């Protein structure tokens, strides 16, 4: 479990990073927190010719929170985002989901953006990006572009970002008005990849009736998907809405896989349970944010 | 007082070193010049090797050597030893240090690469092409039993051993029984998984023709003998040292591992230091596992729930080879009976080959399976009769006045299973109080009101500990006052340094701070067996106590001479020999040590006191008396007539979420009896750690082999060793029933904590959900399947609780 030889570059600017990536070609891989990449190297499941370590690139370590949302720089560690009160106010899902990312030691090194770029369907932040309708900013030698989450995730561990490119930030839009969120996971051991996780957003109308209910799941499906559950609860008063019905609907929408930890049926069961539980929690929050 | 410390919760003296990074583990040994070994291991569960092509590796920079089976000579080219032969092990098989034409499990070593570092060794290993012809694999105990394919072609039924013991004629006894019931159940594979894997460092001194080997082992003396035999070296030219070892739990008692022979072989051949440190993936696929069994049980019992006859047929998966003999099957067979009177008992354990990693003892070593069989039998009887599970157990317990109690079985040490002492009703009474057994129905109702299903379960065990043949101890008082203690058995973090120091401090009357303990170093003590079967305190503890008593006797004799009193009038306290009741009439033990060794040369101030003109001497006697020896030291051995039997009782309370089928152990209670306790803090630590492995084995860990024999969870990401967050707080109560068999009255404590976990938790889950649990471990996804399967048997207790059954 020792990596095969690789070249190592630690550029001091984004331009330099892109130059190295351009020069090294397809064999180059960006290293940020390394919490997924380095185990893959050690197990020789990946053998990039060059690691381009962006940790010394300035300007990538900020969490910028505005009315419209939260922009998370490529070097922001999970632990940093978890503690950012302003970000949590604008988009509460960030802290709620981040609290479920692995263990403190991993959260201290791993980055939110790296986890998104890694595109593991068991990762929390990919689904949060999807559920919030977020996007990433990608720097390439040709310039900077924004890629929406729908265009980003191609398959498990695969994104649409190719060639010399650095994902420099992720943007999570703010929680809409009269809305609430919740996030929950079930893992075999605390801090493990979830057997199943769910994040939800519930939005009410001015009469405190449900106008939207959406969910995204962890470890369900190959890429993050947002499921609209509104039809089960649309127009229902928040206090008496049929959240169980929404959970039942969710079960029909997902197509989970089996692995050694859970059958597909069991994952589907958990989708229903977690959906109902998180919707109830999110609805209570939405109600609190909606004038009676 | 720092001398009378036997029985005190003395803080572990090794911990400061170990938890501040100052331990010296295998991979800490060596320098940048040390060569590294890596292995090409079989990717197939069962295959013939057609060709090994190393040419691709030859231009790897830093490559030093490549070895295949063809490079092995003499005894090394023979199969590895069958370490513990047994007459009923009729078809033993062992592998070769490197595969000889056939591989029988994924992970079996095929090629050894030595390079200037481990990275390059892995680079070279990756470039070696081995061509295989795949053979049909046999995976799992049922496939082995069905024997549609054979692991070893010449053993078509896959049966390595048919272990059989009986205490009477079981068939008529069952026929005469008022009630009988039969059932089949399964228990899965898990593994020791020490934090530090195996590892070997070898250094050859060409000028001296001597070999020093460090190995992360539980049996350094026997590794030494094995290396000498296999490499054809004189024993006196081989020294083997177990450095700090990061956990063993059984896997490191097996020896010689292929690497323990191959690394020294390479060190000699290359005239260089060579090291191999096992990585986690290697440990999963090339060390050892345990526990998989299929158990078919028939029990006869009367209307009060008293067992009249028990017939058990077990199929035990021993993996690809049988280097450790049939120890695990024997332990299951003989420890199964637990604390109960079983009038007629027959057990057959068929030990079968599979194309999976070898099975050798893992903490508990067959006892968790035996306990699972016996305790689940008790649960079944209680369920069938509508009796409290505790009551059925109580009616079958061996009573305190029945000791010594002879089960008429033969234990793993070849000696009779005769329980030396115990108080099982006492354990049961304490357990019921500790866990709140009588309040279970109230707890169930309270949990139900919270939407949770609650269940309680219990399991009892008796554990044969401290088997022979022997261990030894050496105690030596130096002129500095320092007391050196050594024993040959090894330590893997159990706290031996502390416990052995407590014993010597108490026996000799010296401050514990003056004592230094060394274990597992053949340079210090050449005769030893090893650390396994909860035997260190019993075996080395007693040997060291006897050695300390020998030192004490000699010290009193010398001091009596000097002080001109009778030795019987002397005592030793705080390192000073003094005349009882006469303050001032004393001599420090360190001075006695100096006087014990008459000297010619005064190399230091202390030595001066022992030279020939230092004081008056009796010219008519030789300086060292006939039959005496210089030095204040003594070696002694303890060899027990048979094992001593510890016991205990565990209870678990589980809560289950009926929406997600998650299982929480909300309370875990342990009553534990290991005779006299040297250090209660260490014993409680052993119990805690054992319970953690018991919970792991019950709810989290299993070896997920697919039908092709590929281990799908060979990493800590997917093999779910529980974290501290998954382990319940454990409440512990002690009972001390000393062993009459050894001077200190000790029984072993190392493995106890793990034994009843699977049985107690299975019982608690069954109690909570009212469905029969017939296979362990169990995960939420499996429990979900069980609950929605219409064919799952409902317990009679559940039916009674629901008011729909009228069985009782």
Instruction: Give yes or no: residues B485 and B591 share one domain.
Output: yes
In angstroms, the Cα distances linking B258 to B70, B76, B253 are 15, 9, 13
Instruction: Give yes or no: residues B482 and B441 share one domain.
Output: no
**Which positions in chain B touch A262 (Cβ < 8 Å)?**
780-781
Confidence at residue B808, expressed as pLDDT on a 0 to 100 scale: 36
Mean pLDDT across B740-752: 95
The CATH code of the domain that includes A223 is: 3.30.390.50
**Which tens digits make up the pLDDT trace of B616-647?**
778 888 888 888 899 999 999 999 999 999 99
Task: Please report whether residue B779 resides in a domain.
Answer: yes
The CATH code of the domain that includes B99 is: 3.90.1170.50
3-state secondary structure A190-215: CCCCCCEEEEEEEEECCCCEEEEEEE
Helical spans, DSSP H, in chain A: 14-24, 37-42, 78-82, 85-90, 93-98, 104-109, 112-118, 124-131, 149-152, 230-233, 243-253, 264-288
**Which positions in chain A touch B704 (Cβ < 8 Å)?**
260
Verify whether the Cβ–Cβ distance B726 to A193 is below 8 Å.
no
Query: How many angstroms separate the CA of residue A108 from the nearest CA in chain B?
Result: 19
Verify whether the Cβ–Cβ distance A269 to B784 is below 8 Å.
yes
Instruction: Give yes or no: residues B461 and B480 share one domain.
Output: no
Task: Please report whether residue B324 resides in a domain.
Answer: no
- Contact residues, chain A to chain B, C-beta under 8 Å: 1-5, 43-44, 186, 188-193, 195, 260-263, 265-266, 269-270, 273
Residue appearing with tokens 């209660």: B680
Q: Is the pLDDT of residue B807 over 60?
A: no
Query: How many angstroms separate the CA of residue A267 from the nearest CA in chain B?
Result: 8
Asked if A5 and B126 count as a contact pair (C-beta separation under 8 A), the reply is no
Verify whether the Cβ–Cβ distance B119 to A5 is below 8 Å.
yes
Instruction: Give yes or no: residues A143 and A215 share one domain.
Output: no
**Which tens digits make up the pLDDT trace of B247-258?**
999 999 999 999
Paired tokens of A16? 């330099």
3-state secondary structure of B128: coil
What is the rounded CA–CA span in Å between residue A252 and residue A262? 18
Query: How many angstroms separate the CA of residue A273 from the nearest CA in chain B?
Result: 7
Verify whether the Cβ–Cβ distance A44 to B122 is below 8 Å.
yes
Confidence at residue B495, expressed as pLDDT on a 0 to 100 scale: 95
What is the rounded CA–CA span in Å between residue B77 and residue B755? 39
Instruction: Give yes or no: residues B231 and B105 share one domain.
Output: yes
Mean pLDDT across B651-677: 97
Instruction: Give yes or no: residues A19 and A39 share one domain.
Output: yes
Verify whether the Cβ–Cβ distance A269 to B122 is below 8 Å.
no
Q: Domain boundary at A144, A173, A202, which? A: A173
Provide the β-strand partners of residue B669: B651, B731
Verify whether the Cβ–Cβ distance A261 to B722 is below 8 Å.
no
| Mean residue pLDDT across chain B | 96
Verify whether the Cβ–Cβ distance A191 to B723 is below 8 Å.
yes
Q: Is the pLDDT of residue A142 over 90?
A: yes
| Confidence grade of residue B2 (pLDDT, cut at 50, 70, 90) | low
Task: Please report whether residue A256 resides in a domain.
Answer: yes
Q: The domain containing residue A125 runs over which residues? A: 63-173
Verify whether the Cβ–Cβ distance B781 to A261 is below 8 Å.
yes
Instruction: Give yes or no: residues B488 and B537 share one domain.
Output: yes
What is the rounded CA–CA span in Å between residue B239 and residue B696? 37
Percent of the residues in chain B that have a pLDDT greater than 70, as a whole number: 99
Percent of the residues in chain B that have a pLDDT greater than 90, as a whole number: 93
Asked if B713 and B704 count as a contact pair (C-beta separation under 8 A), the reply is yes
Instruction: Give yes or no: residues B591 and B452 share one domain.
Output: no
Paired tokens of B634? 């003594």
**Which positions in chain B touch A123 (Cβ < 8 Å)?**
none
**Which tens digits make up the pLDDT trace of B187-205?**
999 999 999 999 999 999 9
**Which positions in chain B touch A260 (Cβ < 8 Å)?**
704, 712-713, 718
Asked if A197 and A127 count as a contact pair (C-beta separation under 8 A), the reply is yes
- Contact residues, chain B to chain A, C-beta under 8 Å: 118-119, 122-123, 126, 279-281, 659-662, 700, 704, 712-713, 715, 717-718, 720, 722-723, 725-726, 779-781, 784-785
Instruction: Give yes or no: residues B657 and B591 share one domain.
Output: no
Q: How many CB pairs under 8 A join A and B?
A: 65
**Which positions in chain A touch B717 (Cβ < 8 Å)?**
192-193
Q: Domain boundary at B638, B666, B692, which? A: B638
Instruction: Give yes or no: residues B476 and B440 share one domain.
Output: no
Instruction: Give yes or no: residues A136 and A209 share one domain.
Output: no
Instruction: Give yes or no: residues B430 and B480 share one domain.
Output: no
Instruction: Give yes or no: residues B565 and B665 share one domain.
Output: no
**Which tens digits make up the pLDDT trace of B318-360?**
999 999 999 999 999 999 999 999 999 999 999 999 999 999 9
Instruction: Give yes or no: residues B231 and B85 share one domain.
Output: yes
Verify whether the Cβ–Cβ distance B713 to A260 is below 8 Å.
yes
Confidence at residue B805, expressed as pLDDT on a 0 to 100 scale: 46
Residue A234: exposure state from Cβ atoms within 10 A (0-12, 13-18, ≥19): middle
Instruction: Give yes or no: residues A90 and A133 share one domain.
Output: yes
**Which positions in chain A touch B57 (Cβ < 8 Å)?**
none
Q: Which strand (E) or helix (H) includes residue B543?
A: helix B542-563
Confidence at residue B506, expressed as pLDDT on a 0 to 100 scale: 96
Instruction: Give yes or no: residues A103 and A184 share one domain.
Output: no
Q: Is the pLDDT of residue B806 over 50?
A: no
What is the rounded CA–CA span in Å between residue B324 and residue B251? 11
Verify whether the Cβ–Cβ distance A273 to B717 is below 8 Å.
no
Asked if B487 and B668 count as a contact pair (C-beta separation under 8 A), the reply is no
**Which tens digits make up the pLDDT trace of B452-507?**
999 999 999 999 999 999 999 999 999 999 999 999 999 999 999 999 999 999 99
What is the rounded CA–CA span in Å between residue A262 and residue A122? 13
What is the rounded CA–CA span in Å between residue B706 and residue B723? 25
Tally of domains in chain B: 3
**Which tens digits make up the pLDDT trace of A35-76?**
999 999 999 999 999 999 999 999 999 999 999 999 999 999
The CATH code of the domain that includes A122 is: 3.30.465.10
Instruction: Give yes or no: residues A168 and A216 share one domain.
Output: no
Paired tokens of B165? 């013991």
Query: How many angstroms separate the CA of residue B784 from the nearest CA in chain A?
Result: 7
Instruction: Give yes or no: residues B450 and B495 share one domain.
Output: no
**Which tens digits make up the pLDDT trace of B352-383?**
999 999 999 999 999 999 999 999 999 999 99
Q: Domain boundary at B235, B252, B286, which? A: B286
Confidence at residue B618, expressed as pLDDT on a 0 to 100 scale: 81
Verify whether the Cβ–Cβ distance B781 to A263 is below 8 Å.
yes
Picking from A189, A270, A273, the nearest residue to B725 by CB comes out as A189
Instruction: Give yes or no: residues A73 and A169 share one domain.
Output: yes
In angstroms, the Cα distances linking B479 to B122, B544, B572 are 51, 20, 16
Q: Is the pLDDT of residue B775 over 80?
A: yes
Q: Is the pLDDT of residue B584 over 90?
A: no
Confidence at residue B754, expressed as pLDDT on a 0 to 100 scale: 96
3-state secondary structure of B783: helix
Task: Please report whether residue A240 resides in a domain.
Answer: yes
**Which positions in chain B touch A193 (Cβ < 8 Å)?**
717
Picking from A2, A188, A266, the nearest residue to B119 by CB comes out as A2
Picking from A1, A266, A273, the nearest residue to B279 by CB comes out as A1
Q: Is the pLDDT of residue B607 over 90?
A: no
Q: Is the pLDDT of residue B788 over 90?
A: yes
| Confidence grade of residue B126 (pLDDT, cut at 50, 70, 90) | very high
Q: The domain containing residue B508 runs over which residues? A: 468-596+631-638
| Confidence grade of residue B804 (pLDDT, cut at 50, 70, 90) | low
**Which positions in chain B touch A190 (Cβ < 8 Å)?**
723, 725-726
Q: Which strand (E) or helix (H) includes residue B428?
A: helix B424-435
Verify whether the Cβ–Cβ distance A273 to B713 is below 8 Å.
no
Interface test with B, best of A35, A42, A194, A261 (most B CBs within 10 A): A261
Tally of domains in chain A: 3
Confidence at residue A7, expressed as pLDDT on a 0 to 100 scale: 96
Picking from A1, A190, A266, the nearest residue to B781 by CB comes out as A266
Query: How many angstroms separate the CA of residue B750 from the nearest CA in chain A?
Result: 26
Picking from A2, A266, A270, the nearest residue to B122 by CB comes out as A2
CA B698 remoteness from chain centre: 18
Q: Domain boundary at B609, B638, B667, which? A: B638
Chain A: residue whose CA lies nearest to B118: A2
Q: Is the pLDDT of residue B242 over 70?
A: yes
Task: Please report whether residue B341 resides in a domain.
Answer: no
Verify whether the Cβ–Cβ distance A188 to B720 is below 8 Å.
yes
| Confidence grade of residue A292 (pLDDT, cut at 50, 70, 90) | low
Task: Please report whether residue B308 resides in a domain.
Answer: no
Instruction: Give yes or no: residues A169 and A264 share one domain.
Output: no
Verify whether the Cβ–Cβ distance A190 to B725 is below 8 Å.
yes
The CATH code of the domain that includes B422 is: 3.30.365.10
Instruction: Give yes or no: residues A99 and A183 share one domain.
Output: no
């Amino acid at each position: 479990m020792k990596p095969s030889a690789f070249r190592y570059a630690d550029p001091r600017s984004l331009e330099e990073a892109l130059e190295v990536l351009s020069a090294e070609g397809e064999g180059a891989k960006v290293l940020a927190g390394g919490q997924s990449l380095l185990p893959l190297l050690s197990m020789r499941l990946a053998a990039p010719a060059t690691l381009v370590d962006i940790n010394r690139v300035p300007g990538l370590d900020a969490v910028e929170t505005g009315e419209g949302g939260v922009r998370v720089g490529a070097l922001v560690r999970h632990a940093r985002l978890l503690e950012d009160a302003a970000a949590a106010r604008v988009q509460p899902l960030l802290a709620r989901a981040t609290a479920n990312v692995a263990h403190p030691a991993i959260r201290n090194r791993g980055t939110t953006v790296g986890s998104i770029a890694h595109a593991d369907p068991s990762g929390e932040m990919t689904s949060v990006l999807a559920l919030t309708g977020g996007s990433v900013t990608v720097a390439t030698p040709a310039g900077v572009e924004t890629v929406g989450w729908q265009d980003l995730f191609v398959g498990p561990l695969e994104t649409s970002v190719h060639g010399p490119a650095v994902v420099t930030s992720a943007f999570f839009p703010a929680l809409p008005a009269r809305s609430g969120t919740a996030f929950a996971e079930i893992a075999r051991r605390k801090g493990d990849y979830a057997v199943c996780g769910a994040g939800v957003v519930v939005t009410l109308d001015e009469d405190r009736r449900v106008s939207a209910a959406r969910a995204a799941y962890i470890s369900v499906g190959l890429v993050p998907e947002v499921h609209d559950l509104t039809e089960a609860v649309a127009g229902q008063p928040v206090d008496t809405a049929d959240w169980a019905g929404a959970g039942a609907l969710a079960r029909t929408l997902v197509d989970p896989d089996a692995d050694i930890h859970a059958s597909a049926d069991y994952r589907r069961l958990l989708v229903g349970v977690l959906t109902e539980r998180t919707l109830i929690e999110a609805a209570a929050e939405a109600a609190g944010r909606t004038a009676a | 007082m720092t001398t009378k410390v036997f029985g005190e919760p003395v803080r572990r003296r090794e911990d400061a070193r170990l938890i501040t990074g100052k331990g010296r583990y295998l991979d800490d040994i060596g320098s940048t010049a040390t060569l590294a070994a890596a292995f090409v291991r079989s990717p197939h569960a069962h295959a013939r090797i057609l060709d090994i092509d190393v040419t691709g590796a030859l231009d790897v920079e830093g490559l030093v050597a490549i070895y295949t089976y063809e490079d092995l000579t003499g005894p090394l080219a023979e199969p590895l030893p069958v370490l513990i032969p047994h007459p009923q092990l009729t078809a033993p098989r062992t592998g070769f240090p490197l595969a000889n034409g056939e591989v029988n499990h994924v992970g079996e070593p095929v090629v050894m690469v030595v390079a200037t570092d481990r990275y390059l060794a892995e680079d070279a290993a990756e470039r070696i092409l081995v061509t295989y012809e795949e053979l049909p694999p046999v995976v799992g105990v049922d496939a082995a039993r069905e024997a549609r394919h054979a692991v070893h072609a010449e053993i078509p039924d896959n049966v390595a051993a048919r272990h059989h013991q009986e205490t009477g004629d079981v068939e008529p006894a069952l026929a005469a029984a008022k009630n009988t019931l039969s059932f089949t159940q399964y228990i899965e594979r898990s593994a020791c998984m020490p934090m530090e894997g195996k590892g070997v460092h070898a250094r050859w001194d060409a000028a001296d023709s001597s070999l020093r080997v460090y190995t992360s082992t539980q049996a350094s003396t026997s590794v030494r003998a094995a290396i000498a035999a296999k490499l054809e070296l004189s024993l006196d030219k081989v020294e083997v040292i177990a450095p700090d070892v990061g956990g063993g739990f059984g896997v490191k008692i097996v020896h010689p591992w292929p690497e323990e022979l191959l690394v020294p072989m390479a060190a000699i051949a290359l005239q260089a230091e060579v090291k191999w440190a096992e990585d986690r993936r290697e440990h999963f696929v090339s060390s050892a596992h345990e526990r998989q069994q299929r158990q078919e049980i028939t029990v006869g019992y009367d209307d009060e729930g008293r067992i009249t006859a028990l017939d058990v047929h077990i199929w035990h998966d021993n993996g690809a080879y049988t280097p450790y003999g049939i120890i695990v099957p024997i332990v299951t067979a003989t420890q199964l009976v637990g604390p109960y009177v079983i009038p007629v008992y027959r057990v057959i354990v068929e030990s079968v080959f599979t194309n999976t990693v070898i099975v050798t003892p893992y903490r508990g070593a067959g006892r968790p399976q035996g306990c699972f069989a016996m305790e689940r039998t008790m649960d079944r009887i209680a369920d069938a009769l509508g009796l409290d599970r505790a009551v059925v157990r109580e009616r079958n317990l061996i009573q305190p006045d029945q000791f010594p109690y002879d089960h008429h079985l033969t234990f793993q040490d070849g000696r009779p299973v005769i329980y030396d002492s115990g108080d099982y009703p006492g354990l049961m009474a304490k357990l019921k109080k500790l866990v709140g057994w009588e309040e279970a129905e109230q707890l169930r109702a309270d949990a139900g009101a919270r939407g949770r299903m609650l269940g309680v379960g219990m399991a009892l065990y008796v554990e044969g500990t401290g088997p022979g043949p022997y261990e030894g101890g050496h105690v030596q008082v130096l002129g500095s006052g320092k007391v050196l203690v050594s024993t040959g058995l090894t330590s893997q973090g159990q706290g031996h340094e502390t416990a052995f120091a407590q014993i010597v401090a108490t026996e000799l009357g010296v401050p514990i701070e003056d004592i230094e303990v060394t274990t597992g170093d053949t340079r210090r003590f050449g005769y030893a067996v090893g650390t396994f079967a909860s035997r260190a305190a019993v075996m080395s503890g007693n040997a060291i106590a006897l050695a300390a008593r020998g030192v004490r006797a000699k010290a009193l004799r010398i001091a009596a001479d000097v002080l001109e009193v009778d030795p019987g009038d002397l005592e030793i306290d705080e390192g000073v020999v003094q005349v009882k009741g006469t303050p001032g009439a004393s001599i420090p033990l360190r001075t006695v040590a100096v006087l014990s060794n008459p000297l010619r040369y005064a190399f230091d101030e202390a030595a001066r006191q022992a030279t020939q003109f230092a004081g008056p001497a009796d010219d008519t006697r030789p300086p060292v008396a006939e039959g005496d020896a210089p030095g204040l030291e003594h070696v002694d051995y303890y060899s027990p007539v048979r094992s001593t039997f510890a016991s205990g009782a565990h209870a678990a309370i589980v809560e289950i979420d009926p929406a997600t089928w998650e299982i929480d152990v909300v309370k875990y209670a342990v009553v534990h009896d290991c005779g006299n306790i040297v250090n209660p803090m260490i014993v409680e630590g052993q119990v805690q750690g054992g319970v953690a492995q018991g919970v792991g084995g019950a709810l989290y860990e299993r070896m997920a082999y697919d039908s092709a024999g590929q281990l799908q969870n060979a990493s800590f990401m997917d093999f779910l060793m529980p974290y501290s967050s998954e382990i319940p707080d454990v409440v512990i109560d002690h009972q001390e029933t000393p062993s009459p068999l050894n001077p200190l009255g000790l029984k072993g404590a190392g493995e106890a904590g793990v034994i009843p976990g699977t049985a107690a938790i299975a019982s608690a889950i069954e109690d909570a959900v009212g469905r029969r649990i017939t296979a362990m471990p169990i995960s939420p996804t499996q429990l979900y399947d069980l609950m929605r399967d219409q064919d799952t048997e409902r317990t009679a207790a559940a039916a009674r609780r629901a008011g729909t059954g009228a069985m009782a």
